[in-house]
Amino acid sequence: MRKLPPTAAEDLLEIIMRRYERASTILTSNRPIEDWGKVLGDTAAVTAMLDRLLHHAHVLKCGSRSWRSKEKAALQPKPAKS
C-alpha cells in the first residue's frame, strides 16, 4: 500500500459533498470506519464526510474473513477419514 497524499481526506470529502443527496455512492473498505481519520490523516474532514455519507446509508458488514478465503476453503478437498 502506498502512503496517501496529505489532501486525501479533503479530496474524498469533496467527492462525497458533490454527490450528497444527488447520486448513489458505494464505498468498500477493509478498515473499520473508526480508523478512517487516522488512515486519511484528517479527522475533521473524515467526520464531515462520514456525516454526509452515512446520513442515508445502508452499511453492510461482511465479517472478518474475506470472501476469497471462504471460497478457497470450500473448494479444497477434505482429508479422508481413516
Domain of residue 42, residue span = 8-64
The CA-based diameter of the chain, rounded to the nearest angstrom, is 63
Q: Is the pLDDT of residue 81 over 80?
A: no
Q: What pLDDT, in 10s, does the model give residues 17-70?
A: 999 999 999 998 888 899 999 999 999 999 999 999 999 999 888 777 666 777
Task: Give the chain's domain count.
Answer: 1
CA angle 32, 36, 39 (to 5 degrees): 115
Give domain status of residue 38, yes or no: yes
Give domain status of residue 1, yes or no: no
* 29 φ/ψ angles, rounded to the nearest 5 degrees: -155, 145
Q: Is the pLDDT of residue 11 over 70?
A: yes
Give domain status of residue 2, yes or no: no
- Contact between 50 and 33 under an 8 Å Cβ cutoff? The reply is yes
Give domain status of residue 69, yes or no: no
- In this prediction the pTM is 0.68
pLDDT of residue 82: 62
